[in-house]
Amino acid sequence: MLLSAPANTLPQATLNGARRALLMATLAFAACFSVWTLYAVMGLTLRQQLTLSATEYGILLATPILSGALFRIPLGLMADRYRARNLWGYLMLAVLPALALLPQISSYSGYLCLGLWFGISGGAFTLGIRYVSDWFSSDRQGLALGLFGVGNAGVALTFILVPLIQHYAGWNWIGPIYAVGLAFIALLFFVLAPTLPLAYRATTAQPNASALNLKQLVSDARIWRFGLYYYFVFGSFLALLLWLPQYYMQAYQMTEPQAMAFTLFFVATSSMIRALGGWFADRYGGRAVNWGVFWVCIVCLFFLSYPPTTLVIHGVEKDVQLEISMNVWWFTLLIFIIGVAQGLGRASVYKVLHDYYPRHMGSAGGFVGAIGALGGCTLPILFGMAQDILGIVTGCFMILYGVLALCMITMFFANQAARYQYKLHRAREHNFLLDEDD
């Protein structure tokens, strides 16, 4: 059922300076991702200060993710026409005022508005995908984009730095210190990140005539399908890193530092494994990796979805009570497995995307990235609504199970259709079938 990658990948050569470009892009992406997920840690304190419900808390977490997701589409279209390197630098500078203003905010609506502002840092992924993919040959795209994706580990910086800043400098210094750090990374990026050679840029970096427009992207069913896959492997990763701290505190009565430590383990392992996912995708094909990832995750989510349950069996002489629940260590093991699988899947989705759209990684990659990031926006809200309505903490995993089931059904029928078209094409080539025009 798993088909090989299409053969329309355009030939490219790995350019001089590619390693430095990848290093600087990964560093800048880590910094932007750290800013984008700032509410993942600040949200716990804000929930207590503002006495938020689960749904309100989910909306707070979702606001930076929403703006970052929506900005990925126009940034992707621009990256196919202008230098992604320059756009990226300007993006980091645009986020600085929002971080500097963070200490002045005290209301729920204020945090929502400011979150939408600094959340545009999430658009850095689209610019990075376009910037990095231009430097590497087609047979190294999976590994290169996987290594770039390790910048997801920037959220680990947030889990470490925010508590340290709050402890040693105070709550009001979180925003200004982040602003100084991001300004330093932006300066470093402007100085050290290489620019594409003029000869190469003239033919591939600015393909104005062939750039995809929004109408073409929206009407392409294949891009929507890839976006659905990325909605799970990236969107649910975002949603979980935002939701897990309070989940650990509610379900297992952990303290905030303990919940942060367990979530940090999930985030770091899932982010670092992404490079390996790119290598697997180069070697075995992105579809095969994605299909394996989905099967692993759906098995884990089946067990995570089951809520703690007490069964009373009425026996002949006495009642027998059974307690069905998952302790924190089994839960963490399953979450760890899901995180690793998602890390592999995030890299393989973009490897397959590059196979189909090698010259449009800005526009196509931005559109797919936006759909995936919308998962990090919509899922926390759905998690909060499920908890408020159902009254059980495992409702979030029930939602993820349903999303993944939809992904697997879609992939199955898409692969079946691709297999049929391949067989039909082969039959016509060997004159087993006559063309309709004959």
pLDDT digits (tens, 9 = 90+) for 6-34: 444 444 456 677 888 889 999 999 999 89
Nearest to 10 by CA among 200, 146, 147: 200
Question: Chain centroid to CA 384: how far?
Answer: 20
Q: 342-365 pLDDT, tens per residue?
A: 988 888 888 888 778 877 777 787
**How far is residue 118's CA from residue 176's CA, in Å, rounded to a whole number?**
13
Mean pLDDT (whole number) for 316-325 = 77
Q: 144-193 pLDDT, tens per residue?
A: 878 887 877 788 888 888 889 988 888 889 989 999 999 999 999 989 88
The pTM of the whole model exceeds 0.85: no
Judge whether 321 lies within some domain. Answer: yes
Mean pLDDT (whole number) for 120-140 = 83
* Residue 288 confidence class, pLDDT cut points 50, 70, 90: confident
Would you state the pLDDT for residue 69?
Answer: 86
The domain tally of the chain equals: 1
Q: What angle do CA 254, 259, 263 make, to 5 degrees?
A: 150
Tokens coding 107: 């209301």
Mean pLDDT (whole number) for 283-308 = 87
As a residue count, the chain comes to: 438
* Residue 295 confidence class, pLDDT cut points 50, 70, 90: very high
Q: Which residues pair with 320 in a beta bridge?
A: 313
Q: Which residues pair with 99 in a beta bridge?
A: none
Of 78-92, 316-330, 407-421, 422-436, the range with the highest mean pLDDT is 78-92
Residue 154: CB atoms within 10 A of its CB come to 24
Q: What is the average pLDDT score of the chain?
A: 82
Mean pLDDT (whole number) for 209-227 = 77
Judge whether 281 lies within some domain. Answer: yes
Tokens coding 319: 């009642």
Q: 31-59 pLDDT, tens per residue?
A: 998 998 888 888 888 888 888 888 888 88
CATH code for position 295: 1.20.1250.20
Judge whether 437 lies within some domain. Answer: no
Judge whether 124 lies within some domain. Answer: yes
Q: Which residues pair with 311 in a beta bridge?
A: 322
Judge whether 5 lies within some domain. Answer: no
Judge whether 2 lies within some domain. Answer: no
Any residues with CB less than 8 A from the CB of 365 and at least 6 apart, and which?
76, 126, 129, 130, 133, 350, 353, 357
| Separation in Å, CA 88 to CA 14, 31, 122, 276, 352 | 22, 12, 11, 26, 24
In the chain, the percentage of residues whose pLDDT exceeds 90 is 18
Given a cut of 60, is residue 436 above it in pLDDT?
no
Would you state the pLDDT for residue 1?
Answer: 38
Judge whether 22 lies within some domain. Answer: yes
Contact 279, 292 (CB under 8 A): no
Residue range(s) defining the domain that contains residue 28: 18-429
Judge whether 7 lies within some domain. Answer: no
DSSP 80: T
Of 15-19, 284-288, 290-294, the range with the highest mean pLDDT is 290-294
Mean pLDDT (whole number) for 289-301 = 91
Contact 347, 96 (CB under 8 A): no
Would you state the pLDDT for residue 422?
Answer: 64
